[in-house]
Amino acid sequence: MQPKRKWKEPSATSSSEPTSKAEPHSFQQLYVSALKALTRRPFPIRELEQKLLQLCHDADTVSQVIQRLKAAGYLDDRKFCEAFIHLQRKAHGRARIERELRVRGLNPKLVREELEKAYPAEAELEPLQHALERKLRSLAPPMDAKKLSRLYNHLLRRGFPGEAIRLALRRRLKMEMYSD
């Protein structure tokens, strides 16, 4: 018994049609694709450029589309950076936000400037405290070394500085010791 086929057999008439979807896009088609992508979510310039290069391998056409989008005000790395920091600062530390923005291809100098402006180091204590309290709610009460290590590593992965985590944990644990 042969398994059922889940696809159609190619017919003789369909062999003359192009089989690859990587057809070269015209400027207008690429521009429309970029606008559609930007309506779904914001992109930094380099990330959108890489996405468009996957659709069209002509670097000149892609750079023309990028220039037109920048001129129209649809692409701006500074605005993207500001919005990303604003959305992420409640849940993550500065180090993680900076790392994620650099991975997306943003200029490190621009990232540092925007972080200093929108998320100063002093403002990191409140999100750290919030993340600590939230994680402590999910942990069972007897706090042993293994749970402390997990908690510390969790907060470190969230991008908070190690020294600030240690201080927050000391304060929190002293409060628990004196509240008994």
The amino acid occupying position 140 is A
- For residue 1, what pLDDT band results from cuts at 50, 70 and 90? low
Per-residue pLDDT tens over the stretch 159-172: 999 999 999 998 88
Question: Could you tell me how many helices (H) and strands (E) the chain has, helices first?
Answer: 9, 0
CB-based contact 106:80 (threshold 8 Å): yes
Phi, psi for residue 104 in degrees, rounded to 5: -75, 0
Spatial separation of the C-alpha atoms in residues 70 and 44, rounded to whole Å: 11
Per-residue pLDDT tens over the stretch 30-53: 999 999 999 999 999 999 999 999
Spatial separation of the C-alpha atoms in residues 143 and 151, rounded to whole Å: 10
Residue 24 has pLDDT above 60, yes or no: no
Residue 100's contacts (CB-CB under 8 Å, 6 or more residues apart) are: 84, 88
Mean pLDDT of the chain: 84
Per-residue pLDDT tens over the stretch 60-95: 999 999 999 999 999 999 999 999 999 998 889 999
Q: What secondary structure does DSSP assign to 72-121, as a single string?
A: HTS--HHHHHHHHHHHHTTTS-HHHHHHHHHHTT--HHHHHHHHHHHS-G
For the chain, the structural domain boundaries read: 27-72, 77-119, 123-179
Angle at 36 between CA 34 and CA 41, to 5 degrees: 95
